[in-house]
């Protein structure tokens, strides 16, 4: 059996940096260092585990993003993915979730797939909608937000821990899955992996390669618009006391004063 | 007046609080029309009417429970076709966001997720979002199609505004994608007997400082004295001390209570992402340099094993 796995990874600004917006109200991707979205490491990990237990499996990493986004692809290749695709085009600047799904779906189709693996959400937009959008566009089942996932006999199964219940899901391939940070620790690239990644192929595609019109994506093609963005005022410094036996009582006093008791 | 669709989140007809908040917000834009999918529509309809639903569109079919998400997308799509609403509001649950996304794509409409407020605007509803771990507040608008917006719990307080709530049957034809993903089995989450984490007015959370599953009894005792929900940091969850369903933060729940109590939690950015919009924040931490103290309205530098039980006793005393 062969199994073509496509992992979708996003290159995001580091959450520990001072993330901000640029003048056109898009995410500032220049002044803060970027990296492979930590939650997508779980997707790479599960893809590699599934590939490891399937004969003839091949893992392709796909990202849509600016020039530096290739770093995210490289990291996934270092972890063990076989090859990469980087969709990059100046006209993609400011693309909304629906536009991103159009581009990503086209790249996945061009790559060829039996299984698409995504993270649960990016760490910048955090919408958690791309996997569902991809399933809708590709017209295949969505098996999303899995804390446990397995592929066997042309089907994918997994556990989705929802708000009200935990569900056991099953669908036949091809399918789109997303995995949570409960699915299992992601591996670190080994020295051997880092060396091997240097020789792994990464293709770069632009919108023409995917037959996508420039005006359907980017800021102009977006179906939503940010009107303004305001930095949250820092919380005004509160009162800090050191416990010398009365800390609990002092805190209770504060809570009572503010009518919580 | 224009109508606004509200997708009802319920458990067998018992309507969850975020839906009442959505009905309240919807009234700022138009007349709320509720869409109730699955069993219990009769029980739900009276509550929905009390909170302003002029109509309640109902559909029940085994598909809603037997297959993931897509049957509900088919149903809401049918409701949009029947009503031609000015906007569609969906609760920001994991199911809700996925339903909203697929619906927006089908309608060729823009999508906004995780709104924390909503107002009427000249060019359609304006949604407020809290982004970058609550570091920024943005206001956005949908520029194409029927706005599809998901709204977070605790975005407003539900206000009753009795309306007719006329129950009408919604005809739904399921498409070929509807049965793609089978729900083989479903285990309802065991009730803790405490308020729902995302809906609670007070949340008491414990972190790595709690140092063991058995010690969470201290956190629970404080929570119970205050009538609060219990939360946990990822460090505490990863250590196996408390269930993942209680995790607060970027990859757990976002909470926005009146009062958030953090005990033995350092205040990492990913934790802050889930609690920074709480109205009042207090913390107990033995390290005076812990970043959580940058957020607090009141902080106690001290050992939680003495401060938390003392606080619990004092709360009980004061409540008599
Ligand atoms: C603060 C902020 C708020 C935003 N709000 C909105 C909004 O309300 N409406 C809207 O339409 N757009 C919005 N956007 C734009 C949107 O985030 C991007 O278009 C993005 O590409 C898709 O959403 P996401 O990052 O939230 O991805 P998610 O849906 O959270 O991503 C889930 C998974 O999809 C995959 N994935 C996501 N993006 C890529 C990519 N570029 N390449 C490869 N794989 C990927 C990854 O596996 C990821 O784990 C917002 C962006 C930001 C930064
Ligand atoms: C992609 C990603 C997503 C994440 N998502 C989340 C998330 O959703 N939620 C989340 O919480 N984290 C999340 N994290 C993890 C986050 O970065 C932190 O590691 C985590 O929040 C730390 O938990 P903590 O504060 O309990 O532990 P620590 O950072 O170890 O802090 C423990 C604190 O307890 C104090 N303490 C110890 N003993 C005592 C005592 N006896 N009395 C009083 N104080 C004491 C210490 O001084 C310290 O400040 C995520 C990380 C990543 C990379």
pLDDT tens by residue, B245-255: 999 999 999 99
Strands A175-179 vs A202-205: parallel, antiparallel or unpaired: unpaired
Looking at beta carbons, which residues of chain B come within 8 Å of A124?
132
> What is the rounded distance in angstroms from the CA atom of residue B265 to the CA atom of residue A6?
37
For residue A24, the model assigns a pLDDT of 86
Q: What confidence score (pLDDT) does residue A221 get?
A: 93
The answer to the question of residue B300 being in a domain is: yes
The answer as to whether B193 is a domain residue is no
Please write the tens of the pLDDT for every residue from B33-74: 999 999 999 999 999 999 999 999 999 999 999 999 999 999
Same-domain status, B7 and B113? yes
Q: Is the pLDDT of residue B114 over 80?
A: yes
- B223 and B89 share a domain? no
Do residues B17 and B129 both lie within one domain?
yes
How far, CA to CA in Å, does A225 sit from each of A18, A24, A257, B66, B145?
Answer: 23, 10, 43, 37, 13
Q: Which three-class secondary structure state does DSSP give residue B293?
A: helix
Report the CATH number that the domain containing residue B14 is assigned in CATH. 3.40.50.620
A162·B134 Cβ contact <8 A: no
Number of structural domains chain B divides into: 2
Task: Tell me the whole-structure pTM to 2 decimals.
Answer: 0.96
- Domain assignment present for residue B23? The answer is yes
Model confidence at A73, in pLDDT bands (50, 70, 90)?
very high
Q: What is the DSSP letter of B215?
A: T
Nearest CA-CA partner of B140 in B110, B104, B97, B99: B110
Same domain, B238 and B131: no
User: Domain residues for B240?
Assistant: 202-319
Answer yes or no: is A235 within a domain: no
Overall domain count for chain A: 1
The whole-number average pLDDT for the span B278-293 is 97
- Minimal CA–CA distance to B95: which of B228, B186, B200? B186
- Say if A207 falls within a structural domain: yes
Question: Residue B286: inside a domain, yes or no?
Answer: yes
Residues of B in contact with A15 (CB under 8 A): 132-133, 250, 269-270
Q: Find the CATH number of the domain harbouring A98.
A: 3.40.50.620
- The ipTM of this complex is 0.96
Residue B308 lies in a domain: yes
Ligand 1: which of A10, A38, A43, A94 to mutate, judged by most atoms within 8 Å of the beta carbon?
Answer: A10
In a domain, B178, yes or no: no
Task: Give φ, ψ of B26 to 5 degrees.
Answer: -60, -35
Q: Hey, which residues 40-59 in chain A have their CB within 8 Å of chain B?
A: none
| Residue B175 maps to a domain | no
* Inside any domain, residue B232: yes
According to the model, what pLDDT value does residue B116 have?
95
From the list B105, B202, B311, the residue facing A248 with the nearest CB is B311
Which domain range does residue A56 map to?
3-221
Residue A252 is assigned to a structural domain of this protein: no
Q: Are residues B155 and B296 in the same domain?
A: no
Whether residue A162 is contained in a domain is answered as yes
């Amino acid at each position: 059996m062969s199994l073509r796995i496509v992992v979708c990874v996003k290159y995001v600004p580091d959450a520990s940096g001072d993330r901000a917006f640029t003048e056109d109200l898009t995410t500032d991707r220049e002044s803060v260092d970027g990296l492979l979205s930590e939650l997508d490491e779980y997707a790479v990990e599960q893809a590699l585990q599934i590939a490891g237990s399937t004969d003839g499996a091949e893992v392709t990493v796909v990202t849509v993003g600016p020039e530096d986004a290739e770093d995210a692809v490289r990291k996934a290749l270092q972890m063990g993915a076989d090859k990469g695709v980087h969709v990059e085009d100046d006209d993609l600047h400011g693309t909304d979730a629906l536009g991103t799904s159009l581009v990503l779906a086209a790249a996945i189709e061009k790559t060829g797939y039996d299984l698409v693996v995504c993270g649960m959400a990016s760490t910048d937009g955090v919408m958690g909608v791309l996997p569902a959008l991809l399933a809708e566009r590709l017209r295949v089942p969505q098996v999303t937000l899995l804390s446990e996932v397995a592929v066997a006999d042309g089907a994918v199964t997994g556990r989705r821990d929802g708000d009200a219940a935990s569900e056991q899901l099953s669908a036949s391939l091809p399918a789109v899955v997303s995995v949570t940070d409960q699915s299992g620790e992601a591996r670190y690239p080994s020295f051997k992996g880092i060396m091997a990644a240097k020789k792994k192929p990464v293709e770069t595609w632009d919108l023409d390669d995917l037959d996508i019109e420039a005006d359907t994506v980017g800021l102009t093609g977006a179906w939503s618009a940010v009107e303004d963005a305001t930095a949250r005022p820092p919380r005004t410094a509160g009162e800090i006391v050191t416990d010398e036996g009365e800390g609990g009582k002092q805190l209770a006093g504060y809570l009572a004063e503010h009518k919580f008791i | 007046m224009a109508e606004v669709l509200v997708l009802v989140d319920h458990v067998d007809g018992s309507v969850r609080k975020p839906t009442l908040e959505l009905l309240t917000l919807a009234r700022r834009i138009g007349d709320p029309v509720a869409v109730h999918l699955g069993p219990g529509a009769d029980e739900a309809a009276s509550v929905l009417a009390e909170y302003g639903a002029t109509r309640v569109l109902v559909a029940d079919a085994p598909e809603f429970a037997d297959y993931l998400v897509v049957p509900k997308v088919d149903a809401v799509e049918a409701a949009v076709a029947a009503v031609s609403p000015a906007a569609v509001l969906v609760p920001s649950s994991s199911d809700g966001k996925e339903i909203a996304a697929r619906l927006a794509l089908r309608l060729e409409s823009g999508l906004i997720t995780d709104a924390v407020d909503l107002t009427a605007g000249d060019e359609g509803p304006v949604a407020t979002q809290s982004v970058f771990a609550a570091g920024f507040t943005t206001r956005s608008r949908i520029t194409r199609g029927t706005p599809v917006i998901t709204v977070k719990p605790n975005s407003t307080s539900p206000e009753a505004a009795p309306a007719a709530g006329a129950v009408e049957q919604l005809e739904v034809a399921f498409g070929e994608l509807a049965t793609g993903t089978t729900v083989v089995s479903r285990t309802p989450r065991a009730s803790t007997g405490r308020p729902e984490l995302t809906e609670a007015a007070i949340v008491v959370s414990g972190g790595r400082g709690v140092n063991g599953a058995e010690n969470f009894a201290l956190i629970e005792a404080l929570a119970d004295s205050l009538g609060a929900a219990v939360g946990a940091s990822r460090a505490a969850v990863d250590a196996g001390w408390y269930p993942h369903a209680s995790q607060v933060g970027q990859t757990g729940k976002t909470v926005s209570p009146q009062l958030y109590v953090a005990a033995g939690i350092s205040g990492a950015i990913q934790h802050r992402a889930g609690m920074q919009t709480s109205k009042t924040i207090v913390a107990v931490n033995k390290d005076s340099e812990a970043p959580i103290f940058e957020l607090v309205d009141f902080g106690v530098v001290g050992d939680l094993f003495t401060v938390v039980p003392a606080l619990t006793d004092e709360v009980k005393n004061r409540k008599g």
